Amino acid sequence: MTLPGIITMILSIGFVWILLSVCVYRLLHEPASSRTPKKDRQN
């Protein structure tokens, strides 16, 4: 395996796992409808 190959592998796999971790964290911790317009929330 070459160095560009190792870099491509680490970047690709690292990217998807970091993206997944951030998404799951926000899904579990971000308060629901925090970005819903005020008008919609009142409804």
In the complex, minimum distance from the CB of residue 2 to another protein, in angstroms, rounded to a whole number:
4
Are 41 and 33 within 8 A, CB to CB? yes
In the complex, minimum distance from the CB of residue 9 to another protein, in angstroms, rounded to a whole number:
4
Whole-number Cα distances in Å, 17 to 11, 21, 22, 29, 37: 10, 6, 9, 18, 31
In the complex, minimum distance from the CB of residue 10 to another protein, in angstroms, rounded to a whole number:
9
Interface ranges with another protein (CB under 8 A): 1-2, 4-6, 8-9, 12-13, 15-17, 19-20, 23-24, 26-28, 30, 32-37, 40-41, 43
